[in-house]
Amino acid sequence: MSTKQKSRWADDEEDAVLEAQRKKEKEEKKRAKAEKQRRADEAAALRAAELQGEAAAVADSSNNNTELSSRPAKRRRISPEIEGVKVELPPAKLLRFPSPEWKKCRSVEDYEKLNDIEEGAYGWVSRAKDSRTGNVVALKRLKMDNANDGIPVTGLREIQTLMDCEHPNIVALQEVVVGEDTSKIENIFLVLDFLEHDLKTLLEDMSEPFLTSEIKTLLHQLTSGVSYLHQNWILHRDLKTSNLLLNNRGVLKIADFGMARYFGDPPPKMTQLVVTLWYRAPELLLGAERYGTPVDMWSIGCIFGELLTKEPLLQGKNEVDELSKIFELCGIPTEETWPGFKRLPNARSLRLPQNPVSQGSVLRAKFPFLTKAGSQLLIDLLALNPGKRPSAQEVLEHAFFREEPRMKSAEMFPTFPSKAGQEKRRRRGTPNAPMRGNVPEIKATDFSGIFAGREDEEKGGGFSLKLI
């Protein structure tokens, strides 16, 4: 018979009493905890009911959100009491944010078309009268691209940049209106201040160029507008005489923001397919992906030259021809005058003459009637090295504007018969701005074929230029 051997750890009576006491304490603790939880739940339920009542009251008083009153309070208050003491919270208030005021676009039908001003390759502008006010405006239909996938980025940028601008030398966008069939994107129109002339048409129709005092007025106004754009981080990227409007009070306004965009510092990578060929800066032609305000300053230089002679300054037939015309007029870039230009994508395969003509001498010879300050301004604006071109602000302060003859005041500016009020404006073979995604990228290799055929011609121009 085996007797159960007593363990060394066997409970004795004292152990049993201790064990019973521990159990009792544990149960008491459990009960207390449960009671605390029950009271907390009760208080939470009470608070939730209060909140619901408050929400209903707010909804009733504002009388514009009936939905709220039936909605339970979403948030459960977790600690309505601290250590058993009920805390009085301030009554909950609903935060109200003002909703943006959406204004429906007016209909294009509110405007009575008077006549077409321009129906270009991919643009359409007409003169129209606001039937409500009788004001005459220019209606410009938003340009389409080939993508067919919504409002083209050029249109969005044109609206965005123009809406952000407010300057006497920038055309004012009054509003955007839509056609009957709003599903059609081509039924979006910009309503712009109407101006009687554009400089291109005016120059074509004038028998004599503008006087120096008038050129100064125009150049100063153009540069004021561009300075405002640059200060507001906007590049226009298509400055040319047909995009400069002039009213009968001698005020010039920059128009056509289809190529404009915001830029930053340092400038982001951007497409080189910008600016109409005759006004395109050499860094763009050489394929620079990062460029900035100097591209607009180059165009201003081209416009300055055009105002002086009535003829576009650099009428290249294609990119290579444009580049060679630039080099003929403005000199050949060297590592000294334009450090690092050889690293630009299209410059790597560029072979240039060993003894280049000095920058400025050809320009001076072409404009002998310009004063020293005037020709220096032109030479500076047409500096091959973008870093050497003056900023718009610097141009505004240039000695050229301070010497005689002084700028003609806008009120004294001559008036011209408006073509825009009559028939469509004519265009004589001016190239258009490049179209997004439509113009093939120009690779250095593409130059070689075209240029090989032009080599002899170029030699006749006083230097030999070769792209291999």
Q: Is residue 425 near ligand ADP by the rule CB under 6 A?
A: yes
Q: Is residue 194 near ligand ADP by the rule CB under 6 A?
A: yes
Q: Is 460 exposed, middle or buried (0-12, 13-18, 19+ CB in 10 A)?
A: exposed
Q: Is residue 139 near ligand ADP by the rule CB under 6 A?
A: no
Which of 106, 114, 123, 160 binds ligand ADP (CB under 6 A)? It is 123
Q: Which of 110, 116, 238, 456 is catalytic?
A: 238
- CA geometry: angle 227, 233, 239, nearest 5 deg: 55
The stretch among 76-84, 191-199, 317-325, 441-449 that binds ligand ADP (CB under 6 A) is 191-199
Binding mask 265-284 for ligand ADP (x = CB under 6 A): --------------------
Q: Which is nearer to ligand ADP, 242 or 272 (CB)?
A: 242
Minimum distance from residue 162 beta carbon to ligand ADP (Å): 10
Binding mask 371-410 for ligand ADP (x = CB under 6 A): ----------------------------------------
d(Cα 414, Cα 169) in Å, to the nearest integer?
18
Minimum distance from residue 432 beta carbon to ligand ADP (Å): 7
Residue type, 63: N
Q: Is residue 126 near ligand ADP by the rule CB under 6 A?
A: no
Hey, what are 257's tokens?
A: 């923001």
Minimum distance from residue 435 beta carbon to ligand ADP (Å): 10
d(Cα 156, Cα 143) in Å, to the nearest integer?
10
d(Cα 375, Cα 119) in Å, to the nearest integer?
37
Minimum distance from residue 142 beta carbon to ligand ADP (Å): 10
Q: Is residue 118 near ligand ADP by the rule CB under 6 A?
A: yes
Q: Which is nearer to ligand ADP, 223 or 241 (CB)?
A: 241
For residue 152, give Cα distances in angstroms to 142, 155, 239, 276.
Answer: 9, 5, 20, 19
The stretch among 90-98, 240-248, 308-316, 453-461 that binds ligand ADP (CB under 6 A) is 240-248
Nearest to residue 292, comparing CAs of 269, 326, 258?
Answer: 269
Residue listed under structure tokens 């032109």: 378
d(Cα 319, Cα 2) in Å, to the nearest integer?
114
CB neighbourhood size of 32 (10 A): 10
The stretch among 58-66, 99-107, 238-246, 379-387 that binds ligand ADP (CB under 6 A) is 238-246
Q: Report how many residues bind ligand ADP under the rule CB under 6 A.
A: 22
Is 149 a catalytic site residue? Answer: no
Q: Is residue 128 near ligand ADP by the rule CB under 6 A?
A: no
Q: Is 2 exposed, middle or buried (0-12, 13-18, 19+ CB in 10 A)?
A: exposed
Minimum distance from residue 284 beta carbon to ligand ADP (Å): 19
* Neighbour-count burial for 73-110, b at 16+ CB within 10 Å, e otherwise: beeebeebeeeeeeeeeeeeeeeeeeeeeeeeebebee
Q: Is residue 171 near ligand ADP by the rule CB under 6 A?
A: yes
Q: Which residues bind ligand ADP (CB under 6 A)?
A: 117-118, 120, 123, 125, 138, 140, 143, 171, 192-195, 198, 242-243, 245, 255-256, 258, 420, 425
- Which residues does the annotation mark as catalytic? 238
